Amino acid sequence: MKIDKQKSLLLLVGMLVISLSVTAGPPYNTDDPDPTPFKHWEYYISTINNEQGGEFSGTLPHFEVNYGIIPNVMIHLVMPLSYDAPKHQSMHYGYGDTEMGFKYRFVKETDNCPEIGTFPIALVPIFKSNKMTSEKAQFFVPVWLQKSWGKLTTFGGGGYWFNPGAGNKNSVFTGLTMQYDFSEKVSLGEELYYQTAATEEDQSSLAFNLGGQINFSKILHLIFSAGHSLVHGKYFTSYLGLWWTI
């Protein structure tokens, strides 16, 4: 019965993405196809925190930089300081996997067509002797879509994770986020996402996030989210960051 419910929820996610023709990314797991504008920069200082069964992990902090290198294309870099605090064990802290990628928008939004793009990324273990890095590089190849109706914006899609290494499994991620601009200062959103198991010991996960954005100015923004799993391996996640757009 639990398996049937899980399949039904996954089908619901897929139907929502299709029916809605699926600015985002942080603080959500689901991304959008909208790159940083040409010759403009985005900077983030953020922290991600995960809790499952009394064990904590995440970044404290991580630094993200995006640059619009040519029209419709941005380059992307994340440099994380990561931690892992197993239950009843000492906490590990160090530099994690470097995230590199580029976002390419190949269809612009019109009245009848969503914006469409891709955002391939690689997670590269530069310091392999560090306990906070993976054994091998991982790669994610997604397709993202976005459509707006006035103050309401919907974005989503999914992709495939290539996750080599002993005990690891390739996995599929799909998600959908809806965000509403209540004013020029405040936007709030809700995300539903699903991912198949990434290791032989893991289970697939279906979870949600509630998040938002507070605009202190046209340059400085506070972004945040928090959420919980809906099936399998009860876990809690949160994101908090400052975002500069220049």
Give strand pairing partners of 141: 160
Which of 8-12, 140-144, 161-165, 197-201 bottoms out in mean pLDDT, i.e. has the lowest?
8-12
> How far is C-alpha 243 from the chain's CA centre?
15
Q: With contact defined as beta carbons under 8 Å apart, do 170 and 200 qualify? A: no
Nearest CA-CA partner of 85 in 125, 49, 61: 49
- How do beta strands 220-231 and 236-245 pair? antiparallel
Q: Which domains does the chain have, with CATH numbers?
A: 2-37+101-245 (2.40.160)
Distance, CA of 162 to CA of 140 (rounded, Å)? 6
Which residue has 């405040």 as its token pair?
Answer: 186
pLDDT band at 196 (very low <50, low <70, confident <90, very high): very high
Q: With contact defined as beta carbons under 8 Å apart, do 36 and 66 qualify? A: yes
Examine residue 86 and say whether the peptide bond preceding it is cis (omega within 30 degrees of 0): no
Q: With contact defined as beta carbons under 8 Å apart, do 142 and 117 qualify? A: no
The pLDDT score that the predictor gives to residue 167 is 92
pLDDT band at 10 (very low <50, low <70, confident <90, very high): very low
Contacting residues for 102 by C-beta, under 8 A, at least 6 apart: 73, 74, 75, 76, 119, 120
Is 9 a residue whose pLDDT tops 80?
Answer: no
| Digit-coded pLDDT (tens) for 66-116 | 999 999 999 999 999 999 999 888 899 999 999 999 999 999 999 999 999
Q: What percent of the chain clears pLDDT 70, i.e. is strictly above it? A: 90
